[in-house]
C-alpha cells in the first residue's frame, strides 16, 4: 500500500482543522502564556539577584541571598522545562482527537497529567538531561576553542559541535519521532516498547518523514517574518499534518497484516460441503414397491 504524499497529508490536515482553529489556536496561546509567565518569573529573580549582588558586599555571608536566588531561578527554569515537555503529549492528544473526528477540548492538553504521569515525567527528565548534556558539550568545545587563541579554530570547533548535535537530533527523530504518538494513542505501552515500535514504523518511511519536514521550511520563514503571529496558524497545521503521517503508517500496517476474510470463508465452506456430498445416500420412498431384484 502506497503511503500518502506530503501534499495529501497537508490537505487532510486542512480539512480536519476547518471550523476547529479556535480551539487549536487557543491551545497554542496557552503554551505561550505558560512560557511567558515562567520567563517573567525567571527574569524577576534574575533582577533581584543582580541587586542583591550589588548591595551584598564581598563577604561570604552577604553572598548567601545571591546563591539562594540563583538556586531558585534554576529550579524555576527546570520546572518550566518540565511543564513544557509534559504539555507535549497533550498537544498530540488534541491533534489525534481532531484528526480522528473525536471530541476535543483544551482539557486534552492535560493528558500527560491524567494518564500515567510518572511515565511522561520520566520522559521529561530524560529530555532535559539530554539537553543539559548537549549544552554542556557545546560549552566545553567552545572553551577549548577559546584556549587555542585561534579565531578560525574556535569558529570551526564551535560550529562543528553544534552541527554534530543537530545531526544526532535529526537521526534520533528519523528513528524515534513517533514515540510520543504511540504512547498517547496506546497509553498502556511502556517507553521502551514505544521506542521499538517507532523504530519499526519509521522503517521505509524515513524519506517521507524527511520530505514532510523540508516542506515546512518556507512556512517557518514566514512565521519568523510575521514576528511569530503566523505560528498561531502554522503550529496546529503542522501538528495535524504529522498526526496524519502517523495515522497513515498505522493504516499501512493494518493493511499489511490484515487477514483476508473471503478466501478463508470459501475454504471453510468448501470443506464443509465436500464431506456433506460424499456422505449423501439415495433414499427410497416408503410407498415405493420393491422387487425381488431390488432386494
Cα–Cα distance measured from residue 239 to residue 95, given in angstroms and rounded to the nearest whole number: 6
Name the H helices within 64-150: 64-99, 111-114, 117-147
pLDDT digits (tens, 9 = 90+) for 138-169: 888 888 878 877 788 888 888 888 899 899 99
pLDDT at 264 over 50: no
Which of 77-86, 223-232, 242-251, 257-266 shows the lowest mean pLDDT across its residues?
257-266
* Residue 120, Cβ density class (10 Å: 0-12 exposed, 13-18 middle, ≥19 buried): buried
CA contacts within 13 A on the Cβ side of 290: 7
* Per-chain mean pLDDT for the chain: 82
pLDDT digits (tens, 9 = 90+) for 79-117: 888 998 999 999 999 999 999 999 999 999 999 999 999
Distances in Å between the Cα of 50 and the Cα atoms of 43, 44, 61, 64, 193 are 10, 10, 16, 13, 47
Tell me which DSSP letter residue 4 carries.
P
pLDDT at 286 over 60: no
- pLDDT for 291 equals 47
| 45, three cell numbers | 529573580
pLDDT at 294 over 50: no
pLDDT at 55 over 90: no
CB proximity list for 152: less than 8 A, separation 6 or greater? none
Cα–Cα distance measured from residue 72 to residue 45, given in angstroms and rounded to the nearest whole number: 8
- pLDDT for 265 equals 41
pLDDT band at 268 (very low <50, low <70, confident <90, very high): very low
pLDDT digits (tens, 9 = 90+) for 178-229: 999 999 999 999 999 999 999 999 999 999 999 999 999 999 999 889 888 8
Cα–Cα distance measured from residue 101 to residue 95, given in angstroms and rounded to the nearest whole number: 10
Which of 62-66, 79-83, 192-196, 243-247 shows the lowest mean pLDDT across its residues?
62-66
Amino acid at each position: 500500500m502506497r503511503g500518502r504524499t506530503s501534499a495529501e497529508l497537508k490537505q487532510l490536515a486542512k480539512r480536519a482543522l476547518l471550523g476547529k482553529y479556535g480551539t487549536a489556536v487557543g491551545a497554542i496561546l496557552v503554551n505561550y502564556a505558560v512560557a511567558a509567565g515562567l520567563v517573567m518569573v525567571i527574569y524577576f529573580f534574575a533582577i533581584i539577584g543582580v541587586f542583591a549582588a550589588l548591595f551584598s558586599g564581598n563577604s561570604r555571608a552577604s553572598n548567601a541571598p545571591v546563591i539562594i536566588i540563583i538556586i531558585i531561578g534554576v529550579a524555576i527554569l527546570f520546572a518550566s522545562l518540565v511543564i513544557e515537555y509534559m504539555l507535549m503529549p497533550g498537544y498530540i492528544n488534541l491533534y489525534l482527537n481532531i484528526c480522528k473526528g473525536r471530541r476535543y477540548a483544551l482539557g486534552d492538553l492535560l493528558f500527560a497529567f491524567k494518564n500515567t504521569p510518572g511515565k511522561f515525567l520520566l520522559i521529561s527528565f530524560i529530555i532535559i538531561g539530554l539537553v543539559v548534556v548537549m549544552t554542556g558539550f557545546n560549552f566545553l568545545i567552545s572553551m577549548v576553542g577559546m584556549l587555542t587563541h585561534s579565531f578560525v579554530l574556535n569558529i570551526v570547533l564551535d560550529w562543528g559541535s553544534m552541527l554534530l548535535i543537530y545531526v544526532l537530533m535529526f537521526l534520533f527523530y528519523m528513528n524515534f519521532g513517533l514515540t510520543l504518538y504511540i504512547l498517547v494513542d496506546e497509553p498502556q505501552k511502556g517507553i521502551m516498547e514505544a521506542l521499538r515500535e517507532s523504530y519499526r514504523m519509521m522503517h521505509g518511511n524515513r524519506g517521507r518523514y524527511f520530505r514532510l519536514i523540508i516542506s515546512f521550511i518556507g512556512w517557518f520563514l514566514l512565521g519568523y517574518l510575521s514576528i511569530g503571529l503566523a505560528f498561531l496558524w502554522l503550529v496546529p497545521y503542522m501538528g495535524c499534518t504529522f498526526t496524519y503521517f502517523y495515522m497513515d503508517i498505522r493504516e499501512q500496517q493494518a493493511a499489511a497484516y490484515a487477514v483476508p476474510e473471503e478466501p478463508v470463508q470459501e475454504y471453510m465452506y468448501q470443506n464443509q460441503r465436500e464431506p456433506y456430498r460424499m456422505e449423501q445416500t439415495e433414499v427410497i420412498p416408503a410407498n415405493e414397491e420393491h422387487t425381488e431384484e431390488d432386494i
